[in-house]
Amino acid sequence: MRAYLFDLDGTITDTDVIWIDALADTLAALGHPVPTAWTMEIVYGKAWSSSYARIVERFPDLASIPSDELAHRSDAFFKARVAATDVRIPGTIALIRRLAAAGAPCAVASGSTPSQIEDALAIAGVRDCFRAIVGSGEYERGKPAPDCFLLAARKLGADPAECTVFEDSEAGVAAGRAAGMRVVALRLPDHPPQDLSAADLVLDDLSKYEFDPA
C-alpha cells in the first residue's frame, strides 16, 4: 500500500519563519532576547521537544516553565502573526486534495504539537484528507531521527518502503531517508537555505508531483 507522509510547517503551511519569530517574541517577553539566527537554528525542521531542550539548556531559569506551558505562550504570539497573513501553500494543498480524492492514505508527521497540527490543518482546509497525525510528544526522538515517520507509517498500516515523505528541511529529509522512505523535498523561494541534496526529488511546487494512485 502506497502512503504519503507530510511535514507541516514549511510544507503545508508557510509557517516555519513565523514560528521562529514567535519563539523569539516569547523569549524576549520572558527577559531573554535572542538573535534570529539562534531561534532559526533550534526551530527549523526540529520537534518542539528538541527546541525546548535547547531553550532550557541556554536559559536554565526557564526550566521552571513546563514544555507545554512555554509552547502555549509561543502559540499566542504565533496566532497573532498568522492572523495577519495567508499561510497556506497552494501547491501542497492541491497535491493533498488529489491524493485524498484518489483514496491514498495520508498522514502528517510534524515537530509541532498535535493541537498545533490540528489548528494548522483547519486553516489549510485539509484536515479531512488525513487519516492520521503524529506530533511532538508522541515519539521519542525528533528529526533527523526517523521516529515520527515510522510512527505515522504504523498508524496508517503502511510499510515504510512504500511511503513517500514530503519535507522542506534538511533535518526532515534526513529523517525520511533514515526511515527507509522515498523523500520529496519542497524548496520555497526566500526561505532559509537548506541542504536538500539527500532527497530523491526536489520541487519548487508539490502540485508538480506525479503519483500512481494504484
User: Please, what is the average pLDDT of the chain?
Assistant: 92
pTM score:
0.81
* pLDDT value, residue 213: 64
Whose cell is 503524529? That residue is: 134
Instruction: Tell which wins on pLDDT, 158 or 78.
Output: 158
In terms of residues, how long is the chain? Answer: 214
pLDDT tens digits, 119-140: 899 989 999 999 999 998 899 9
Handedness of CA 54, 76, 96, 132 (dihedral sign): positive
**Tens digits of residue pLDDT in 64-123:** 999 989 988 988 888 888 877 888 999 999 999 999 999 999 999 998 889 889 989 998
**What is the model's pLDDT at position 16?**
77
Average pLDDT over residues 177-202: 92
The pLDDT tens digits of the residues spanning 25-42 come to 999 999 999 998 899 888
Whole-angstrom distance, CA of residue 11 vs CA of residue 38? 22
Going by pLDDT thresholds of 50, 70 and 90, the confidence category of residue 156 is very high
User: What is the spatial distance between Cα 102 and Cα 180, in angstroms, rounded to a whole number?
Assistant: 24
Q: What percent of the chain has pLDDT over 90?
A: 69
